[in-house]
Amino acid sequence: MKLDRTKDVQVFPVADNTRVLRSRTWDRLKFEIEYALKKGTTANSYLIEGDKTALIDIPGESFSDIFLAALTQRIDPETIDYLILGHINPNRLTTLKKLLNLAPHITVVCSNPGAIALKNILEEIQFEILVIKKEDNLDLGNGHNLNFIFTPNPRYPDLLCTYDPKTQVLYTDKLFGMHVCGDRVFDEGWTIDMDDRRYYFDCLIAPHARQITTALDKLAEKPAKIYGVGHGGLVKYSIKELTSNYREWLKTQNTREITTALIYASAYGNTTTIAQAIARGITKAGVGVEAINAESAEPETIKVAVEKAQGFIMGSPTLGGHAPTQIQTALGIVLNNTNQTKLAGVFGSYGWSGEAIDILESKFRNAGYSFGFEPIRVKFKPTDAILKACEEAGTDFAQALKKALRARTPKISQGTSGTDRTEQAMGRVIGSLCVVTTKQEEVSGAMLASWVSQATFNPPGLTVAVAKERAIESLLHPGARFALNILQQGKHISLMKQFLKPFAPGENRFVGVDTEEAENGCPILSEALAYIECRVDNRIECGDHWLVYAVAEKGKLLQSEGVTAVHHRKSGSHY
């Protein structure tokens, strides 16, 4: 069934005197890595009607008119007393201005950092702000005495969660969400959502694992029956499982042996988006990230982070030909508290010239630091292709850190232990040599694969094991299409060399390779023995790999007399 790719607002009762207004779109809203699965999204708002009425959160500009139309069809704006904002997003300002025009008496409720941001960006509008302090409640009457929980992190320093003890709905804003649009209001059949919630976690939450762990400890004090999330389906049936998963994912991030300090400031959000993509690349490669927003971080926080980390990356916008004052301050802290054995990285966005990036690069090069990737310069808003290149740069940085650690770790002489014998035996498992290729709009990817196996007869299906740090991994989520190119013995060496060599972030994998386009849009290698067009149906996290299960939709034998090339190994500990 083809979805109607339009926007609408779905209104549904959640609990006593409580409704959700789900502003929905099946289209991707913008270029940001957390939207990369392209499953649409919902921006959830909540209406609580006691003796007084509170609206919790509002959607962004693209939903302003349809949201306000849906809201005013169900309630007189003059009867809304409070607007509670979990965080301040410039994208919401259009909706906020229009709502205040309809009901100028509304009191905006937010944290102190949120209030400061609002006053700075809405100087021309007069409205009442209620700044929430620790232990503050907001009594709406009829039993709805709202509690507030501060849950700040570097990306959202003003993040505020809201809890209604009467209904036991915990409004979590950015926590526990996902970017998926559908008709399900709640999470019935919740297992199908976990991959999307995990992806959302990896993109938005993982770089702030330490702060989010603290936030979860605070939220645990509130017995919740429903998580009123900011995006995606509300969490009702999987609260226990999802919370447990978050704890486990956070623990993994917090206990990484190797860490990177990612320090940035952002004028219009573009540098933040780049930072997020780099962080995603680092964490998927098994290295921890401590993300730090220099605009709100204390100097001591930056100092401790860079002293602890094995590498650091700094990002800055360019304002008036210079880096912001906060970045200049952070730069001094980094130079004074790190030595040249630590790996460095630089990135930034700009409108015209980009001097801030040049300043950071020259300071670190002159001080003798080695770079984990070439400085990233992005003019205006990053595209999908740029964000993919940024993710790959983050992965390269993480792999360079791991390589440096291995070089410093004394090697243990090989013996004949049970582990050694097991690895030798595992190495005798052979697989066909294939090249997995994919293309999604302007982004393409390819990798050499030998851990490939047929998995099912009906439907015809196969599995491919993909290492977490592979660049192509983020292009192989459920619903994605790829081509499995099976290599021919005797004609496979040149293709092996092509797809085994290291690629720079964003580099075209197919330069000099003869290809055609499959019906699913993915590249077919003309010299392959055969190819199979596949659709990813599911994937399972297995240690350091993802096991991707795909349905074979179409295939063709290109060389009728050829034999499949296979990969013989001597050890099961490496490819």
- The gap between the terminal CA atoms of the chain, to the nearest Å, is 41
- Cβ(345)–Cβ(397) below 8 Å: yes
Cβ count within 10 A of residue 417: 9
- Cα 112–chain centre separation: 27
Residues 226-255 as b or e (16 or more Cβ within 10 Å = b): bbbbbbbbbbbebbeebbebbeebbeebee
* Domains along the sequence of the chain with CATH: 8-253 (3.60.15.10), 257-407 (3.40.50.360), 425-567 (2.30.110.10)
Q: Which residues contact 155 (CB under 8 A, 6 or more apart)?
A: 204, 207, 208, 272, 276, 291, 293
Distance CA 120, CA 138 (A): 25
Pairing of strands 434-440, 515-517: unpaired
| Lookup: tokens for 89 | 């997003």
Strand blocks (E) in 184-310: 226-229, 259-264, 288-293
Strand blocks (E) in 187-243: 226-229
> Among all chains, which residue has been given the structure tokens 């992965």?
395
| Single-letter code of the amino acid located at 299 | P
User: pLDDT 10s per residue in the chain (575 long)?
Assistant: 344 457 999 999 999 999 999 999 988 766 688 988 889 999 999 999 999 999 999 999 999 999 999 999 999 999 999 999 999 988 899 999 999 999 999 999 999 999 999 988 887 788 999 999 988 999 999 999 999 999 999 999 999 999 999 999 999 999 999 999 999 999 999 999 999 999 999 999 999 999 999 999 999 999 999 999 999 999 999 999 999 999 999 999 999 999 999 999 998 889 999 999 999 999 999 999 999 999 989 999 999 999 999 999 999 999 988 999 999 999 999 999 999 999 999 999 998 888 999 999 999 999 999 999 999 999 999 999 999 999 999 999 999 999 988 887 776 555 566 668 898 898 889 899 999 999 998 899 999 999 999 999 999 999 999 999 999 999 999 999 999 999 999 999 999 999 999 999 999 999 999 999 999 999 999 999 999 999 999 999 999 999 999 999 999 999 988 999 999 988 888 88
Report which of 400, 548, 546 is spatially closest to residue 463, judged by C-alpha positions.
548
> Among all chains, which residue has been given the structure tokens 């996290």?
541
